[in-house]
Amino acid sequence: MNGELIEALKQLEREKQIAPETVLEALKTSLAAAYNRNYGTQEIRVDIHPETGQISVFSQEWVEKEGAEPELIEEEITPDNFGRIAAQTAKQVILQRIREAERENMYQEYIDREGDIVTGIVEQSDQRYTLVNLGRVEALLPPTEQVPTERYDHGTRIKTYIVEVRRTTKEPQIIVSRTHPSLLRRLFELEVPEIYEGYVDIKSVAREPGYRSKIAVASRDASIDPVGACVGPKGSRVRMVVSELRGEKIDVVEWNEDPAQFVANALSPARVKSVKVNEADHTAEVVVPDNQLSLAIGKEGQNARLAAKLTGWRIDIKSESQATDSGEADEILAYNAGEKPVETPSGAESAADADVFCEAIKSSGERCTNKARPGSAYCGVHKKLEEAEG
């Protein structure tokens, strides 16, 4: 048995990466308990030779000598039939250590994958939870992380987002999600090489799971159109993401450091006439053409709600006629973050002034009072309108 024990420990080290010293220490403790259980309780020490596997049991007793420190006296008391007890104990300890090592390895494997996307197969689904088989371990998809419009039938293959990995006394508990906004981010990373390679960044994500989502993207390379890269040839890339999310509609908009322009983009597919941003209370007042009001707000306010989540701004949307009736049409401004609203000086009609201010004419008949963007005769909002109408 002694040689077989050492060989078993070496095999464990090769196959399971379990250090022999760890198993030997646990085995010594278990053998000591087994000895006391079978031969009476006393102070003992169990020794296992690391090369031969020879098992020895020693009794321990402290002897006090006059004028000297107490001395520990050991005497070997290994029973003749202790090999049978040792074999049974060794088997139990080794199996326990194997299970512990596998649980720890599994935990370490998945704790590093928090925030990652995994593919699994639905094993069981009921009102309390859904189990997703990830291969070596089952993940838990709780009701709070399930999309209300989706059904999780047995055997269905789905992609999920790892929210949390918990250490337990058994297997690690893995919590996955189908509703997390980062699931959408990871799916685009899988489908769009420009995002995976870092040429295009996903700046923000807003999602109402199962219904509609918006993502804001920006390019680090001037030669790459971020929206076009995400949509793909004939919409092939975004279509793959929509398919994985089972028909959830996705709007891809271009991020802009100008908050007014970003808000205008975020309200896509509605066309925006003008935007006034208030840095103090982080609000944006938006004016849209009359025929675009319902599109800008969306069904039950969904488009406006997602745009607000995407930009982080509180958005107030009005039609042109509503803005005119309230006398606000002439006051709608769009300006870069950190700049003060630009006011047109009285009598400014020279060619130099025309180069500085936007040349667009508002519905009131007055010229726009926003600064023109560099290299353009129009501000950011009206430049976009010019391109759309052109």
Query: Which pLDDT does position 328 carry in this prediction?
Result: 54
Query: Which pLDDT does position 364 carry in this prediction?
Result: 52
SS3 content of the chain, % helix, strand, coil (to 5): 40, 25, 35
Write the burial class of residue 197 (CB in 10 Å: 0-12 exposed, 13-18 middle, 19+ buried).
Answer: exposed
- Enumerate the CATH 3.30.300.20 domain ranges in the chain, comma separated: 257-390
**Pair type for strands 314-319 and 117-125:** unpaired
Q: What mean pLDDT is predicted for residues 110-132?
A: 87
CB 169 within 8 A of CB 104: no
Alpha helices in the chain (DSSP H): 2-16, 20-39, 82-111, 181-191, 193-196, 226-231, 236-244, 259-266, 293-297, 302-311, 320-325, 351-356, 380-389
Single-letter residue type at 3: G
What does the H/E/C string look like for 358-383? CCCECCCCCECCCECCCCCCCCHHHH
Q: What mean pLDDT is predicted for residues 235-257?
A: 93
Superfamily of domain 2-111: NusA, N-terminal domain (3.30.1480.10)
Query: Which pLDDT does position 385 carry in this prediction?
Result: 53
- Enumerate the CATH 2.40.50.140 domain ranges in the chain, comma separated: 117-179
- Enumerate the CATH 3.30.1480.10 domain ranges in the chain, comma separated: 2-111
Q: What mean pLDDT is predicted for residues 342-354?
A: 36
Query: Which pLDDT does position 85 carry in this prediction?
Result: 73
* CATH class of the domain defined by 257-390: alpha beta
Q: What percent of the chain stands above pLDDT 90?
A: 38
Single-letter residue type at 152: Y
pTM: 0.66
Query: Which pLDDT does position 383 carry in this prediction?
Result: 65
Pick the CATH number of 117-179 from 3.40.630.10, 3.30.110.30, 1.10.490.10, 2.40.50.140: 2.40.50.140
